[in-house]
């Protein structure tokens, strides 16, 4: 298993230089979608409606992959490392190592996914209009419709959706505190999950609501609740890590002890912690980009800064 592969996933190859993983739940949802969409293609051609529905589902997940690749490329623009893309039950997830350093980075890396889905939707509509009326145009139109829905849904301002990350970036920019943005967007995500459950319950007595529809509603609500809750749990931890700036924590002008491990003075956040974990020591020599000694950073100072309550 590669370093980027997580438990419960299958590695099926690489795309744009990162591991492409899938969860078994992807196959389950794919089968459900084939069953849901197959009736749409009955009596449309001599081909089995299930085969046509399977073509649609494969194209849909290809669209999800393009959505995630957009996140990968945006993250790389900012020098962020991307370990993998995972396709799962309700879409995809791009594993970006570390946190965004600025609200702009958070906004840019988040919004490109829905924009990619929107572009796929508009292009699909244009292609469908240019094709002869039939099964092919119906499949392409359906792909466009679903991508537009995905783009709109993803832009809802609650975590873990991309729109939640965009909203988080805006709150972060306005307040100057990433933690505040995470908490606001996280609670909106929880509220959205509750709203979806209520909507599902109100449809129980509807003649048009099937058990599959209700199950999908509840799965989406569970996904939102789990993701927003995880974001809220990690909000404080992320804020503490982001406060770790070697230049600010270090003792400027102090003489490093003999043999002290050198660290770039501009290291911060998770990158600083990884550098310290790679070469554990009580004290480090902080070095400027030109090689001059800035001062000393102690492991104790980093620990005390992390434990301080956020201002």
Predicted pLDDT at 205 = 65
Most confident range (mean pLDDT) of 48-57, 232-241, 250-259 is 250-259
β-partners of residue 287 are 264, 293
Arithmetic mean of pLDDT, 222-246? 87
Kindly give, in sequence order, each residue whose CB lies less than 8 Å from that of residue 15, ignoring residues fewer than 6 positions away.
65, 69, 85
pLDDT given for residue 252 in this prediction: 95
Average pLDDT, the chain: 89
pLDDT at 216: 80
Give the Cα-Cα-Cα angle 244, 247, 249 (nearest 5 degrees): 55
DSSP three-state, residue 99? coil
Confidence of residue 308 (pLDDT cuts 50, 70, 90): confident
Query: CA 10 → CA 7, 38, 58, 91, 159, distances in Å?
Result: 9, 27, 17, 15, 26
CATH of domain 246-307: 3.90.1280.20
Per-residue pLDDT averaged across 260-267, rounded?
95
> Region 270-294: what's the mean pLDDT?
94
What is the domain partition of the chain in residue ranges?
A: 1-155, 176-238, 246-307
pLDDT class of 5 with cuts at 50, 70, 90? low
Please report the pLDDT score of residue 204 as a whole number.
Answer: 73
Q: What is the mean pLDDT of residues 98-127?
A: 92
CA distances from 291 to 54, 119, 206, 264, 295 (A): 59, 47, 71, 9, 12
Tens digit of each residue's pLDDT (9 = 90 or more) over 165-192? 999 999 999 998 888 999 999 999 999 9
CB 187 within 8 A of CB 154: no
Question: Other CB atoms closer than 10 Å to residue 49's CB: what's the count?
Answer: 18
Cis peptide before 160 (omega within 30 of 0): yes
pLDDT above 90 covers a percentage of the chain that reads 60
**Average of pLDDT values for 210-231?**
86
Q: What is the pLDDT of residue 208?
A: 59
CA distance 173 to 206: 44
Q: Hey, how many other C-beta atoms are within 10 angstroms of the C-beta on 79?
A: 9
pLDDT at 43 (0 to 100)? 72
Question: Does residue 254 register a pLDDT over 80?
Answer: yes
For the segment 54-82, the average pLDDT, to the nearest whole number, is 93
Residue 79 and residue 112 in contact, taking contact as beta carbons nearer than 8 Å: no
Residue 149: what pLDDT?
Answer: 92
Return all residues near 263 (Cβ < 8 A) that are at least 6 apart: 246, 272, 275, 276, 284, 285, 286, 287, 297
Q: What is the DSSP letter of 40?
A: G
Average pLDDT over residues 210-235: 86
Please give the average per-residue pLDDT across 84-91, as a whole number. Answer: 87
pLDDT of the residue at 310: 54
Confidence class for position 1, pLDDT limits 50, 70, 90: very low
**Prediction pTM value:** 0.79
Return the higher-pLDDT residue of 187 and 28.
187
Average pLDDT estimate for 17-37: 89
């Amino acid at each position: 298993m590669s370093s980027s592969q997580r438990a419960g996933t299958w590695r099926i190859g690489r795309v744009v230089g990162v591991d492409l993983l899938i969860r078994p739940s992807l196959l389950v949802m794919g089968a459900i979608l084939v069953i849901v969409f197959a009736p749409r293609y009955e009596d449309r051609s001599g081909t089995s409606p299930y085969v046509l529905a399977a073509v649609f589902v494969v194209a849909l997940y290809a669209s999800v992959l393009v959505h995630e690749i957009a996140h990968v490329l945006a993250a790389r623009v900012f020098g962020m490392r991307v370990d993998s893309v995972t396709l799962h039950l309700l879409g995809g997830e791009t594993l970006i190592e570390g946190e965004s350093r600025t609200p702009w980075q958070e906004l840019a890396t988040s919004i490109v996914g829905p924009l990619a889905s929107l572009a796929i939707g508009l292009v699909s509509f244009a292609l469908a209009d240019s094709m002869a009326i039939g099964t092919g145009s119906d499949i392409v139109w359906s792909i466009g419709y679903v991508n537009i829905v995905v783009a709109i849904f993803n832009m809802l301002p609650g975590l873990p959706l991309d729109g939640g990350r965009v909203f988080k970036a805006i709150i972060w920019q306005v307040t100057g505190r990433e933690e505040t943005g995470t908490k606001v967007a996280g609670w909106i995500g929880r509220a959205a999950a509750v709203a979806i459950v209520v909507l599902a319950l109100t449809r129980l007595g509807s003649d048009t609501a099937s058990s599959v529809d209700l199950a999908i509603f509840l799965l989406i609500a569970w996904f939102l609740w789990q993701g927003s809750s995880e974001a809220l749990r990690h909000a404080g931890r992320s804020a503490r890590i982001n406060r770790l700036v070697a230049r600010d924590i270090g003792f400027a002008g102090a003489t490093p002890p003999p043999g002290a491990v050198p660290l770039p003075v501009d290291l911060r956040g998770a990158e600083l912690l990884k550098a310290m974990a790679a070469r554990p020591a009580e004290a480090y020599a902080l070095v400027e980009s030109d090689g001059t000694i800035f001062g000393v950073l102690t492991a104790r100072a980093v620990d005390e800064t992390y434990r301080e309550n956020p201002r």
